[in-house]
Each structure stands twice: as C-alpha cells, then as structure tokens.
C-alpha cells in the first residue's frame, strides 16, 4: 500500500482525478446555473464574468454544461468499467472452471473481438435507443472479451498450482477454492484493466457523441457538448475547448493512475498492451 | 509451414460464424422494423405487412438465418433499403479511401513509432524517454476528432498548405492523392504512434534485460550493435501482435476521421447506414470489417511465426 | 472461411473498379447540397433534395416565373374553350429523352396521371377532370367537369410535388413504387455509374437539350447548361463544407449555417447571397389524434407559448436573416394577412397553463421528436421543450435523425406506442403560398390531411371555396377566411420565417434568384 502511495504516477493521477471528480460532484453550486437553460439573447457569448466558459448557440452556459458533463462522463466511465469487469469476471471464472463450456465461450469472445468495438457500440445504441443504460452496455460489451481472457488465464494458472491440486485431492470443493485463491490473484490485474477500460470508455463516449450516435443530445455529456460545438469551431472555440480539456485531463489522470497501479501492483504486467 | 497456415485458416471459421450469428441477432432482435423504413412516409399498415412478407421477415428466425447465411456464402450481401443498390456495390465504391487511410496510418505509425520506442528504451529515463511517454499519455487522452480539427485549422485554413477535406482517387494522380491523405493520416496516427512506441519501448527494455544480452554487454559489445543484432528481432514480436489488436481500434478511428475530413469511405457509410437503419448495409459492413480483422490477424500470426520460429511448434 | 476468401477477392476486384474512374478536364461545378439524395423519384417522395434532382434531369410543362406568372416550358401553345372546360396543349419541337427518343403527348398524359395520384393539388385537379387524352404525338387534351381556376397553377406547381414529365413507361409505374431509373428530358443527364449514395451525385450537360428563347426566370425561360458537369456533394459537417468553399475546393454551398456567414462574407473569393426571395416558414406540427392536442384549447395554448422572435433568435441568430411573421400563407406573398393571429403574436404563460388545464391535460408525457441532424429544427425542438416545461408540460424529448423522424411521423399510433405528439419541420414559402398549395393547412382527417391529421370539415369547405373562386378579386377574402379558421384549428404552430442565403465562389456567374436552387445558367469564369 505504501508503494502505491509513493508512486509518482499514482500521486499525480489521483490528485487530478480528485479535482475533476470534485468539480463534477459540486457542479450545481459551482456552476450556479442550469446547464439546459436557454438564453437566446446571450448566444455564442465568449467567456465573460457572467459566463466564465462562454455560451453555446442557444445561450446555454458552457461552464455549467462542462461541470455537469463531468458527472455524465465519469459515471459512464465507472459504470462501463464495473459492467465490463463484472461480466468478464463471471464469464472468465466459468470458462476457466467448467472445461466443457470453455471452448464455446472463448470462440464467442473471439467473435466479439473481431467486430470493431465502435461499430458494435453504435449499432447497439441505434437499435436499442440512446439512454445512459444502453450507452454503458454498448461501450462495455466490446471490452468484455479482454477481461474474460485475463480472468481465465489466472484461473487456469491457479488450477495448476500444487497447493490447489493438493486441496482438490483432499476433497475441497473447487468453487470455494476459486473464490479463495483465484479472486485475490485476479484483483490486481483487474483493477489495472478496469482503469484503462474506464479511460477508454470516456473517449468512446465522446466519439459516439461526436458521431451523433451517443447519449440523447439533451444530456450535456462532454461528447455531446463538443459535438454541438464542432460547427462553431472557428467562431466559438470555447464550446469545444473547455469540455475537451476536461476530458483530456480526466482521461490522462485515470491512465496515470492505471500505469502507477500496474507498476506497483503487478510488475509482470509492465509494458503489456493495455 | 503449410500445416500451420491451414490450421490458422481453419481457426477463422468459428470466429466468422460467431460474428455472423451476432450480427444477425443484433439486427433481428432489435426493435426497429426495416419494413416500416422501406415503406416510407405514406405507407399503410397493410403496405408494411406486404413488405414484411416479401422480405421474409415473417418467417421463423432460424429460417431467416439460414436464408441469410446462404446468400452470404454466395457472395450476395443484399440490397440497400434506401438507395436500392446492391450492398456489395456500395461497399466496393468506398473501399479505396478507407484502405488508403488505414495503410497510410499503419505505415506512418510503424515508421515513426518503432524508432522512437527503441530510442526511448536505449536511453530509458532520459529526456527523450520522458517526453515520449508524456506525449503518449496525452495522445491517449485527446479524441481523434479534436486532433483533426486542430490540424485542419492550422495546416489547411491558417497556412493553406493542404486541402481542408475530401479524397482524391489514386487514379487521378499521385500528387493530389497524397496531399489529401496527409492530414487525416497524421490525425489518425497520433494514438497509434503512442501505443506502438510504448509497446516497443517496453519490449526492447525487456529484451535488454535478458541474460544473453547482459553477457554480451559484459563482453564489451556496444549497445547500438546489440540493439541491431540481437534485441530488435525478438523485441518486434509483441509489436506485431499489438498491430493486429490495434486493427479494431483503427476501424473506430477511421469512422471518425472520415467524418471529420469528409472522406467518402466505409466509415462514413457505416455511420450513415446506422443512423438511417439501413440494415442490409450495416450487416454487410460489419461482416466486411470483421473479415478484414480476421485476415489481418492471420497475417500477423504468419509474421509472428517468421519472427519467432519457435511458435510454429 | 469461404466468406472470408470471397470478401478478400471482392476487395481486390473493388479497388480495381474504383481505380478506373475517368479523369476530368471539362468545367465542373462542385456544389455542396443540403441533403443526401436518397431516392431518385420526385413523385414518390416530397423530399426537397429529390425535387431539386428533378429540376436537373426532368422538364416541366409550365413553370412559374419570378413575378408569380405561369409561363410555358415544354408546352408551345395551348388553348382554352370558351366555357373554360376544355384545355388543349401542344408540345414544342425538339424535346427528346436522354436516351434519344422524342417526348410525346402520351408521356405527358401518363406523367400527369401519376402526379395526380400523389400530389395534393394534382388530386384536386383529377377530381374535376372528366378526360385526359393524347390527340397525336405532340398534342393532348384535358376536359373538366366544371370550370376550375387553378389548372395552370397546378400544372406549373414549383415545389413538391412538381409535375415533372417522365417517359410513359416510367410514368406507368405504381405511384407508390419508385421509378427504376432516371431518364428525363431536362438540361442535365444523371450519371448513374458515378452516383455514390451518401457522398456524391453527378450530372453532365444534356448536349441535345433545346432551351427556350426567353431569358431564364425561376423555373421558366431558357435553361442553358453552361458547365459540362455538375457534382452534388453531401458534406454533413457544415464547418468542413465552409472551409472547403473558402479553400476553393468546392464552388457552391447551398445551405451554410447562418452563424458562419460572417466568415464567408469576409473572404473576397466568396459571395454570400439571398437567392430565395420568399423565405422559409418554421412549423411545429401537432398530432390532433391524441391527448392533449386532440383538444382545441390545448392547441390554442401552444399559440400563446411560442414567441417567434425568441425561437428565431435561438435557431437562426443574426436578425438580418429572419422575420417574425404570423401569416399562414407567408409574408410578402399575395395572401399575407394577420387575421386571427393575436394568440401567436402574444406570449402568456399563465393563459397557456389555464388552457391546458381546461383541455384536461393530466401530466401525461408529451412526445416531442427532435431531428438532431437538422440544426435549426433540433434547436426549435429544444426551445419548445423549454417553454412547454415552463408551462408544466411533461415533455419527452426524443432525439432521432431526420430520416427516422420522417418514418415515425407517418405512424398514427398513440404516443405510448411509438407515435408522437409534436415534431418541428419547415416548408419553403412556395409550398404554403396559398390555401390549396398549402397541404399543411388541410383539415382532411386521416384520409387526406398531412401528418398530424387535423380533422375539420369547415376548413375543407373554406379551402374548396378558395379553389373554385374564379374571381381573383375575391380570392384574398377567401384566403383570409382560411387563415382565420387555421388559427382556430391550429394544424401547426408557425415559429416564424427566415432566409437561407447561398454562399458561392465569386468566379461563378449567372446564378439565378429562385426559391429552388437551379444549376442552369451558371458559368464558371
């Protein structure tokens, strides 16, 4: 635990992340304005005292939209990581434990990996309607196979361990063994993987918003705010800039955190593809 | 070698089968009704029912699936709901720009990222290493469309050096072809350069830590020579693997880049088709992209076996 | 595995095909148009992009000029019997299809019948038609059951559906099916091989076209193609399109966003010009079949809620380009009036609340469809959602793209079952210029009214009275009565009028002023 705390990447990443999270949690008092409130009289205003980040084409306050956008984007990131890890853990344990289904499960995972993630996500969202839930699931599905592979490989490795084999021979029940020995072993790589999934989910959310295939446009996610600002890039760059900068800082901090955790928790993973 | 190749080829069958099932279920269990879309603005419920019958949408699911698979095996991807043109034709029209963009990006990435990664590993902890790793972290954090807009603003609008948008087929001359390709390729390359440079660095570092390298070093062989002679080849193995994995990422990037730079490629066709619920085109595109992924990984596997003969077993 | 191999073979083949595109050295006009051409049949669909495509490749019997007068186009001479019941038309010489065959009277008869089955004014004309027949190769005759003042007004209809003349074999296609290919007799020829749906449509000059001698004026007069080739490009990102225009990569940008106009005006190489003198009318369409808007009080409440200047400032911006206008038949049109317009010109939140309560509004969700890919309409939906919420309405804003909206709006199911309550749309002034042209004021119920299905026999009688009013002096009063009734019925809430200027490279000459983008007469210096 001390090693983690001393790691520079973790320190910087954690500090930035806490800062962004704080602005998101405290969005209503900080912004002091409704992110959906339209004031056509003040449209496309550059940053001024009343609107520190300027306004968009409907006169909505970009500061309010950016801070509230943080709530959406962080929720999407965390929710996607949670869904992908939970699904991956469940499927991975079953695949590693029940040999009969292993082959089938792994072929299905190969198939899902073969479908480009963003295509799968936009197709899923277009077909099931854009809500927070469908966007989270759609971004999480393509991430599942990698988690499954990770968990499965740990399960297989643990099964071979002499003390596990001995325990099995002594009549211990496998599910219990899995919970006792596999879970602790998967925890470190899962946390690392989860942080990368979380970062990439926020980027994917912004891309989906940009393509017009993400969250309902009324929701001020960073992707949506940036997508609305693309037309006005030359006359009102602040619409694109502020949410873009917040997104970059957030993703950067989560990635730094992930790198730091990887280096301290699991040195073997160092350098492996995220 | 032939045995290995055959074995890898056979392994692609179940993958493609899974893809086909997923794509089929995705579009047939979804709530949208292509018949209503085809029928258009003024259709009555009877019209829609007639179209459903004609399209076979009222058949049991497994019958529809077998019919569809049969069509695909004959190379028939169906007809676009909107333009009434064959899906294969629509896809064919748009392959060239996407292929050019992808290959260009892959080329730039490898040419830039591998030397950068090796150099960073060579002087690990030095200023180049730090800059590179910092830049890589940043490249992961900025969405490709933001990079694209910045490049357009600086190089096309302010400096008027390159075209703002569009694609010029290679048949219209190599000059315009390359000029149109520069900005999109650069925009798309950032994240891949970051990725490959990191992997190369890590992998070279790992090899430099191996016993035989240490021995050689102790014998007085220079680091540069070591890199060239002994470290590079094994270090490239994971790099090649990552290129295979990165393909899926590349497709996502292509979709966005084509839309920023207005390139009439498969990516824009995908977004347009999804937004219009043009089901046959979506199915065809996902199949084509997945097939391309499988083929890329097949090639990667082959390269892998050339670089590291042990894995042929 | 087989499919994998086939695909790779297909990919190889494909690159070979794509590489074989012809190189061009002729004059090419590259235009970024307002939408992607998805369907090629301008009778089958009312989409403006397909109508504009129709003007490129097809010709019309008559056309309206810039003075709102009807002028002959394909027709050479015509005569009307003394009782006004028999009309005989003779085609001019030299008309030929793009495949070389001559245009015949039989082609015209079949085209009128197919158009008459789909278009609102066409249906009206068919209702009073006793016989329509070809007399010889170049002459056809229309016999009426009663005198009808809008015969030429119908045949010369300038906007959707325009009576485009097609070869008989195509015009015999079921009006609810699309024609299989594009063979017209107009000034440009459609190049089917080079059509890339979602990206590009290509036309080349029709060398065989014989233009009329009169100077061009809207769709009337001589249509002289002065460039060899016109390419319509579809660029969904408007900022990209603007930058392409500034860089000279394209020549013509049909629908630039109003907010970006100052950047283009600042460039010496680009001209920004208002070509459409009539403008565009914004609509908030209400569904009359389901609560709350099945109740007239709820519809009246909508009039009190919509403030045109606020909506227009939000969605269009610069005041130069918009004007509040409550007139159902457009400001600047022959039938402009503000009769009955007080509720729309006023704003009264409390009154709207009270009216909604009187209408029995019970807090159920009101489904408002938002077309996110049409910026102005998307903004109008957001604005409306805002005022409706202020009035205590439980708005369910449903985001979708325009093409989904066009299929959803046709569903007459209840809002809980994938139906809808409100959607925004817009019409060019020409489409709403008088009570009969304006299908959107129809109270023809499920059978004949436009989506939203307002049902009002009084309205239908008043529109009928306008159609059969043969005294031009009385027409204004008839139109005014229709407008009065429209403010009681509220088929849609008009959120104001605006103009869509066109931006083009300054080296283009001869761009015609017209409510419809026309590509003949344009030369490239």
User: Which of A233-242, B174-183, C403-412 has the weakest average pLDDT?
Assistant: C403-412
| Chain B partners within 8 Å of A117 (Cβ) | 248-249, 252
Predicted TM-score (pTM) of the model is: 0.84
The pair of structure tokens assigned to C262 is 């100052």
- In the numeric block, the tokens 């500061």 are attached to A63
pLDDT band at residue B37 under the 50/70/90 scheme? low
pLDDT of residue C292: 94
Q: Tell me the helix, strand and coil percentages in chain C, rounded to 5.
A: 35, 20, 45
pLDDT tens for each residue of C89-100: 999 999 999 999
pLDDT band at residue B31 under the 50/70/90 scheme? low
Among candidate residues C279, C267, C233, C239, the one with its CA nearest the CA of residue C501: C279
DSSP C259: G
The per-residue DSSP string of B224-274 comes to: HHHIIIIIHHHHHHHHHHHHHHHHHHHHHHHHHHHHHTT--SHHHHHHHHH
More confident call, B56 vs A216: A216
DSSP C444: B
Interface of C with B in 422-461 (CB under 8 A): 451
Alpha carbon distance C185, C92 (integer Å):
13
Interface of C with B in 240-279 (CB under 8 A): 240-241, 243-244, 246-247, 249
Residue A272 has pLDDT above 80, yes or no: no
Q: Between helices B174-208 and B144-151, what is the axis angle to 10°?
A: 130
Q: How far is C-alpha C348 from the chain's CA centre?
A: 33
Partners for B (CB, 8 Å, 3+ pairs)? A, C
* Cα dist from C260 to B152, B165, C232, C263, whole Å: 17, 18, 21, 6
More confident call, C56 vs A180: C56
Mean pLDDT of the region B274-284: 81
Between the two ends of chain A, the Cα-to-Cα distance in Å is: 23
Contact between B238 and B199 (Cβ < 8 Å): yes
Contact between A238 and A86 (Cβ < 8 Å): no
* Type and span of the H or E element at C312: helix C308-315
pLDDT of residue B45: 64
Among candidate residues B230, B301, B258, B207, the one with its CA nearest the CA of residue B95: B258
Region of B139 please: left (phi>0), alpha (psi -120 to 50) or beta. alpha
Whether C237 contacts chain B with CB within 8 A? yes
pLDDT of residue B44: 60
pLDDT of residue B160: 86
pLDDT tens for each residue of B295-308: 888 888 787 777 76
Interface of A with B in 76-105 (CB under 8 A): none
pLDDT of residue C3: 40
Kindly identify which residue of chain C lies nearest to residue A228, measuring between CA atoms.
Answer: C375
User: Which of C220-224, C236-240, C307-311 has the weakest average pLDDT?
Assistant: C236-240
State the nearest Cα–Cα gap between C29 and chain B, in angstroms.
15
Exposed e or buried b for every residue in B120-157, given b needs 16+ CB within 10 A? bbbeeeeeebeebbeebbebbbbbbbbbbbebbbebbb
Alpha carbon distance B135, B138 (integer Å):
5
Most confident of A179-193, C1-15, C261-275: C261-275
Contact between C475 and C469 (Cβ < 8 Å): yes
Alpha carbon distance C353, B176 (integer Å):
62
pLDDT band at residue C344 under the 50/70/90 scheme? very high
pLDDT of residue B54: 73
pLDDT band at residue C300 under the 50/70/90 scheme? very high
Between the two ends of chain B, the Cα-to-Cα distance in Å is: 10
Alpha carbon distance B228, B250 (integer Å):
29
pLDDT tens for each residue of C107-120: 999 999 999 998 88
pLDDT of residue A173: 74
pLDDT band at residue C462 under the 50/70/90 scheme? very high
pLDDT tens for each residue of C19-68: 444 444 589 999 999 888 888 899 988 888 999 999 999 999 999 998 88
pLDDT of residue B309: 65
User: Is there a cis peptide before residue C369, judged by omega within 30 degrees of 0?
Assistant: no
Alpha carbon distance A151, A189 (integer Å):
9
Kindly identify which residue of chain B lies nearest to residue A198, measuring between CA atoms.
Answer: B141
Q: Between helices B127-141 and A238-265, what is the axis angle to 10°?
A: 120
Among candidate residues B187, B166, B194, B179, the one with its CA nearest the CA of residue B105: B187
Mean pLDDT of the region B125-151: 86
State the nearest Cα–Cα gap between A1 and chain C, in angstroms.
47
User: Which of B69-83, C9-23, C254-268 has the weakest average pLDDT?
Assistant: C9-23
CA angle B278, B280, B284 (to 5 degrees): 120
pLDDT tens for each residue of A16-28: 999 999 999 988 8
User: Which of B38-42, B219-223, C99-103, C276-280 has the weakest average pLDDT?
Assistant: B38-42
pLDDT tens for each residue of C124-183: 899 999 999 999 999 999 999 998 988 999 999 998 889 999 999 999 998 878 898 999
Complete edge-to-edge strand list for the sheet that includes strand C252-253: C188-190, C200-205, C229-233, C28-32, C252-253, C502-505, C270-273
Contact between C197 and B83 (Cβ < 8 Å): yes
User: Which of A201-205, A226-230, B155-159, B275-279 has the weakest average pLDDT?
Assistant: B275-279
DSSP A266: -
Q: Is C164 helix (H, G, I), strand (E, B) or coil?
A: strand
pLDDT of residue B313: 41
Mean pLDDT of the region B131-151: 87
Rounded to the nearest integer, the mean pLDDT of chain B is: 82
State the nearest Cα–Cα gap between A17 and chain C, in angstroms.
32
Alpha carbon distance C330, B56 (integer Å):
47
Residue C347 has pLDDT above 90, yes or no: yes
pLDDT of residue C291: 92
Residue B200 has pLDDT above 60, yes or no: yes
Q: Tell me the HSE value of C500 on the side-chain side, using a 13 A CA sphere.
A: 21
Among candidate residues A216, A244, A214, the one with its CA nearest the CA of residue A230: A244
| Chain C partners within 8 Å of A218 (Cβ) | 370, 382, 385, 397, 399
Contact between B247 and B263 (Cβ < 8 Å): no
Kindly identify which residue of chain B lies nearest to residue A235, measuring between CA atoms.
Answer: B153
Q: Is C413 helix (H, G, I), strand (E, B) or coil?
A: coil
Q: Between helices B232-260 and B87-122, what is the axis angle to 10°?
A: 130
The pair of structure tokens assigned to B45 is 């419920």
Between the two ends of chain C, the Cα-to-Cα distance in Å is: 56
More confident call, C26 vs B161: B161
Exposed e or buried b for every residue in A41-60, given b needs 16+ CB within 10 A? ebbbbeeeeebebbbbbbbb
pLDDT tens for each residue of A181-209: 777 778 888 888 899 899 999 999 999 98
CA angle A55, A61, A63 (to 5 degrees): 105
Mean pLDDT of the region C190-200: 90
Alpha carbon distance C318, C336 (integer Å):
24
pLDDT tens for each residue of B57-110: 788 888 888 888 888 888 888 888 777 788 999 999 899 999 999 999 989 998
CA torsion angle B290 B291 B297 B299 (round to 10): -160
More confident call, A150 vs B213: A150
State the nearest Cα–Cα gap between B245 and chain A, in angstroms.
9
- Which residues, in sequence order, are CB contacts of C194 under 8 Å at separation 6+? C21, C200, C202
Rounded to the nearest integer, the mean pLDDT of chain A is: 85
Q: Is B221 helix (H, G, I), strand (E, B) or coil?
A: coil
Whether A133 contacts chain B with CB within 8 A? no
pLDDT tens for each residue of A212-270: 888 888 889 999 999 888 888 888 989 999 999 999 999 999 988 888 888 887 655 44
DSSP C374: S
Q: Cβ–Cβ of C372/A212 closer than 8 Å?
A: yes
pLDDT band at residue C1 under the 50/70/90 scheme? very low
* Type and span of the H or E element at C342: helix C342-345
Residue B282 has pLDDT above 50, yes or no: yes
Share above pLDDT 70 across residues of chain A, in percent, rounded to a whole number:
96
pLDDT tens for each residue of A39-52: 888 889 899 988 99
């Amino acid at each position: 635990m001390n090693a983690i705390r001393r790691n520079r990447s973790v320190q910087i990443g954690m500090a930035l992340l806490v800062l962004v999270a704080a602005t998101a949690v405290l969005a209503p008092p900080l912004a002091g304005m409704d992110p959906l409130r339209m004031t056509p009289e003040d449209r496309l205003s550059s940053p001024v005292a009343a609107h520190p980040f300027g306004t968009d084409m409907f006169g909505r306050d970009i500061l309010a939209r950016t801070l509230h956008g943080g709530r959406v984007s962080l929720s999407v990131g965390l929710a996607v990581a949670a869904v992908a890890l939970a699904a991956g853990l469940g499927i991975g344990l079953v695949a590693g434990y029940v040999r009969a289904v292993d082959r089938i499960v792994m072929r299905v995972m190969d198939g899902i990996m073969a479908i480009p993630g963003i295509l799968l996500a936009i197709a899923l969202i277009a077909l099931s309607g854009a809500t927070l839930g469908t966007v989270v699931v759609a971004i999480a599905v393509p991430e599942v196979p990698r988690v499954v592979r990770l968990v499965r490989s740990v399960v297989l490795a643990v099964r071979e361990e002499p003390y596990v084999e001995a325990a099995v021979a002594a009549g211990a029940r496998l599910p219990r063994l899995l919970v006792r020995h596999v879970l602790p072993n998967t925890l470190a790589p899962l946390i690392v993987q989860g942080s990368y999934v979380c970062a990439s989910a926020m980027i994917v959310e912004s891309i989906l918003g940009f393509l017009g295939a993400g969250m309902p446009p009324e929701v001020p996610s960073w992707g949506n705010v940036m997508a609305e600002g693309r037309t006005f890039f030359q006359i009102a760059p602040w619409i694109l800039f502020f949410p873009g900068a917040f997104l970059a800082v957030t993703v950067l901090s989560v990635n730094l955190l992930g790198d730091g955790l990887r280096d301290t928790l699991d040195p073997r993973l160092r350098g492996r593809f995220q | 070698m032939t045995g290995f190749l055959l074995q890898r080829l056979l392994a692609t069958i179940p993958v493609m089968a899974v893809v086909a099932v997923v794509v089929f279920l995705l579009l047939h269990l979804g709530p949208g009704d292509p018949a209503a879309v085809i029928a258009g603005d003024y259709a009555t419920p009877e019209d829609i029912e007639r179209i459903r019958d004609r399209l076979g949408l009222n058949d049991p699911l497994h019958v529809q699936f077998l019919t569809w698979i049969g069509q695909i095996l004959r190379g028939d991807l169906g007809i676009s709901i909107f333009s009434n043109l064959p899906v294969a034709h629509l896809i064919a029209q748009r392959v060239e720009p996407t292929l050019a963009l992808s290959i260009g990006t892959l080329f730039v990435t490898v040419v830039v990222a591998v030397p950068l990664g090796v150099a960073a590993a060579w002087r690990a902890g030095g200023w180049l290493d730090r800059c590179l790793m910092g830049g890589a972290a940043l490249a992961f954090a900025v969405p490709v469309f933001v990079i694209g807009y910045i490049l357009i603003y600086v190089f096309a609008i302010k400096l008027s050096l390159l075209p703002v948008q569009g694609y010029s087929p290679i048949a219209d001359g190599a000059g315009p072809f390359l000029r149109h390709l520069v900005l999109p390729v650069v925009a798309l390359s950032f994240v891949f350069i970051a990725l490959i440079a990191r992997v190369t660095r890590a992998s070279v570092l790992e090899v430099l830590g191996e016993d035989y390298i240490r021995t050689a070093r102790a014998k007085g062989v220079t680091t540069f020579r070591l890199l060239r002679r002994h470290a590079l080849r094994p270090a490239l193995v994971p790099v090649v693997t990552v290129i295979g994995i990165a393909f899926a990422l590349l497709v996502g990037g292509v979709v966005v880049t084509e839309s920023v730079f207005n390139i009439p490629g498969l990516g824009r066709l995908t977004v347009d088709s999804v937004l219009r619920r043009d089901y046959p085109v979506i199915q065809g595109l996902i199949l084509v992209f997945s097939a391309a992924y499988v083929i890329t990984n097949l090639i990667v596997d082959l390269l892998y076996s050339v670089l590291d003969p042990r894995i042929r077993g | 595995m087989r499919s994998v191999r086939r695909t790779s073979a297909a990919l190889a083949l494909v690159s070979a095909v794509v590489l074989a595109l012809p190189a061009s050295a002729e004059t090419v006009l590259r235009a970024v148009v307002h939408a992607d051409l998805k369907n090629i049949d301008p009778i089958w669909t009312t989409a403006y992009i397909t109508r504009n495509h129709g003007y490129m490749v097809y010709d019309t019997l008559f056309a309206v000029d810039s003075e709102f007068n009807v002028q002959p186009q394909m027709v050479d001479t015509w005569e009307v019997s003394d009782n006004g019941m028999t009309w005989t038309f003779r085609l001019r010489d030299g008309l030929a299809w793009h495949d070389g065959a001559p245009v015949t009277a039989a082609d015209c008869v079949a085209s009128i019948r197919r158009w008459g089955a789909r278009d609102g004014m066409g249906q009206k004309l068919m209702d009073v038609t006793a016989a329509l027949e070809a007399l010889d190769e170049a002459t056809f005759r229309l016999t009426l059951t009663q005198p009808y003042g809008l015969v030429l007004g119908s045949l010369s209809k300038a906007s959707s559906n325009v009576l485009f003349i097609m070869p008989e074999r195509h015009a015999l296609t079921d009006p609810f099916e699309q024609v299989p290919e594009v063979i017209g007799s107009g000034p440009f020829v459609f190049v089917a091989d080079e059509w890339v749906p979602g990206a590009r449509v290509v036309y080349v000059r029709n060398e065989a076209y014989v233009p009329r001698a009169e100077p061009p004026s809207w769709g009337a007069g001589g249509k002289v193609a002065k460039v060899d080739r016109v390419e319509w490009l579809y660029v969904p990102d408007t900022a990209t399109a603007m930058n392409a225009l500034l860089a000279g990569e394209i020549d013509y940008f049909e629908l630039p966003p109003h907010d970006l106009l100052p950047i283009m005006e600042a460039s010496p190489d680009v001209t920004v010009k208002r070509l459409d003198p009539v403008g565009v009318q914004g609509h908030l369409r209400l569904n009359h079949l389901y609560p709350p808007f099945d109740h007239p009080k709820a519809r009246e409440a909508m009039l009190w809620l919509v403030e045109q200047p606020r909506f227009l400032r939000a969605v269009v911006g610069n005041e130069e380009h918009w004007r509040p206008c409550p007139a159902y038949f457009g400001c600047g049109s022959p039938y402009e009036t503000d009769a009955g317009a007080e509720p729309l010109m006023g704003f009264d939140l409390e009154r709207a609340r009270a009216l909604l309560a009187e209408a029995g509004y019970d807090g159920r969700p009101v489904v408002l469809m938002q077309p996110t890919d049409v910026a102005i309409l998307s903004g109008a939906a957001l604005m409306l959602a805002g005022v409706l919420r202020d009035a205590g309405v439980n708005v369910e804003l449903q985001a979708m793209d325009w093409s989904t909206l066009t299929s959803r709006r046709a569903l007459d199911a209840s809002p809980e079952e994938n139906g809808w309550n409100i959607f925004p749309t817009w019409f060019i002034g020409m489409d709403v210029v008088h009570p009969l042209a304006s299908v959107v004021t129809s109270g023809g119920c499920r059978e004949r009214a436009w989506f939203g299905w307002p049902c009002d026999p009084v309205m239908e009688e008043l529109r009928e009275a306008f159609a059969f009013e043969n005294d031009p002096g009385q027409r204004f009063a008839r139109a005014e009565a229709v407008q009065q009734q429209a403010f009681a019925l509220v088929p849609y809430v008009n959120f104001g009028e605006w103009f869509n200027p066109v931006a083009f490279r300054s080296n283009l000459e001869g761009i015609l002023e017209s409510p419809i983008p026309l590509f003949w007469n344009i030369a490239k210096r």
